[in-house]
Structure 1
């Protein structure tokens, strides 16, 4: 029994990295580069187009990851975008779980994106019609300018100064902000009260900012092996024996170490890190490695949950366990939709990555995936949570309503018309 469990642990590590993690890394780096080139420009366009803000917010939310959506949150607090834009952005975003489904089931990602986009726009305009944002802004507590200046003067700028000394384009030796200004309440909340990342002289900082080179090398080799696996090639019988085992298990272990050293568990990306990625291609590469490690680790957790569940249900008989699991999931279909929407209430990307990874294993109906995708806010909710808790609460509750409604509708279409 113990030997079987150890085998499951090791095989899950190998398979999760080679079957999903390496493809996530490739896709994530691609979109990270696109964000580096376009995010700041797109955010400025949202500010300038009041009439189409919910539509543009939904477009930004569709971008895989949380970088684009994160930038919208401070804009609402500054009064530059409507609350409906915040809601539409959050509904459209799938956070880092988007990378998992893009890498494994691109058609389903396209379908989820289309349905989420429609739900995002409709809900966003409804929220603006009832002027929910105006009421929230009116109730926000503001600090006098003099108090802000005193607090900001005492704030720690060491990490920001260090980052800017290694980046081109910094102004006044401080990070160029997106969606807010240096020294305002948002700056204090997102860059001083909530640290963007570790102190630059810490072990964790050095490990993440040096170890990323080794990690991308492992991903590059793993990507070649992963593509070979798609063509049914036995990657452990190539010119180097057990190469798949070494890279797969090694890649998962390195992912876990990188996630721990970067102190990323539920939340993967902060507003400050998103700004740094826009400012520097090097930071984009470094933080893309950290994001890949984060997603790969949670995918590994999902694989373990799946494999151990099958093993346990079948009493050691894998085929029997799969049959029991299929029966359980069939009978609990509608409940899975509700659970998917409720899991989406949890801020951060970790639990969402597990949920999506379980869908790729066939444990969850498509309707549940859709409900989770609409409900979840990824890391984008954290900036709003740090600035104004009341607004973040309303945002996450509102996004759950269309998630349940559309999820239930799609579920009944799924079972009656045998779609998806």
Structure 2
């Protein structure tokens, strides 16, 4: 940390809220009259907030990660007291000073925990390395066996026809997905579950189902031929199958790119009580996109170090693959609010997506930063069109009215994800200020 930390903006604080209700409650706590013992250091912000009981709640936020501590009974992280504390700090109502004992003890405990984690990540002994290699080899054999089984099942299903899948097909696909879970191939299992969710949904579901199953067949076929594939394509196939890449290896051997990174947008999704946060970055000088993933159990805080609409100086390490997109943050500075950036046209964005898709046919999302686009409502939904007359449909069954209201019929800059269902807006710039959608 530096000797002094510039307080965050209120928008960055609100982005940390786990839901809209927490954001509203946090604003209600941002009143200095409710707090005592307020203070800040280069590492943390703290204070005691008066609650319904006799004893005030002690709240503290470690700024680097950030991490949160509060003595209130809330199961949300950050709670309303931590949000209110940060909002007061953002408003300049918290001044620097020495941390009290309870804050220092918590920070020391976190530092000791980090040191223990570093020791656990120390280089393995030859014996543990040999055991790890054996486990990896055993799993690779199971995944290859599952891929061969799936390929045979898909071939038999194609011979008999997919027409019967309209009745009971979803259950059949889920049964095969369960066998892929047993084979330790979560990528194949996930594809089968997505296919099961397509059965009977919409008028064009047979075509969408066939497309999903075709990609699964190609993935299963590629799994049985991993040794014949180019190195980068083989890494992509392994990732799509569900093999993980050790983060230490990514930091050591991954392609390093230093730049001023614009945080274009953030998207959170929940699956099986685990929340995944996708953070899309774009280099100011390189123009290169990057995807940073973070995970947290339901009710726990997600990584808030990359706030939407900010520029972060730093260096990324990219995961290996034929079309590298996912990356880890190797080094980063303090985020600062970004003015409206220069984006691309619809045609240029689609061209970049086509090139990435040629290298990675299983690519299901692609980041886009579009300049001078106008959201409009059409007969079949909403779309974004640019000054050249090209348009992209927005994902259906979503609330696009905030985007229309911010645009008010004028061209704006929008950051979004391009998916098989359409374009999903994540943020836009209004009056030179980023607004998360």
Q: Same fold (TM over 0.5)?
A: no
Structure with more contact order per residue of length (Cα contacts < 8 Å, sep ≥ 6): 1
TM-score of the two chains, using structure 2 as the length reference = 0.25
More helix by share: 1
More strand by share: 2
TM-score of the two chains, using structure 1 as the length reference = 0.25
Q: Which has the larger radius of gyration?
A: 2
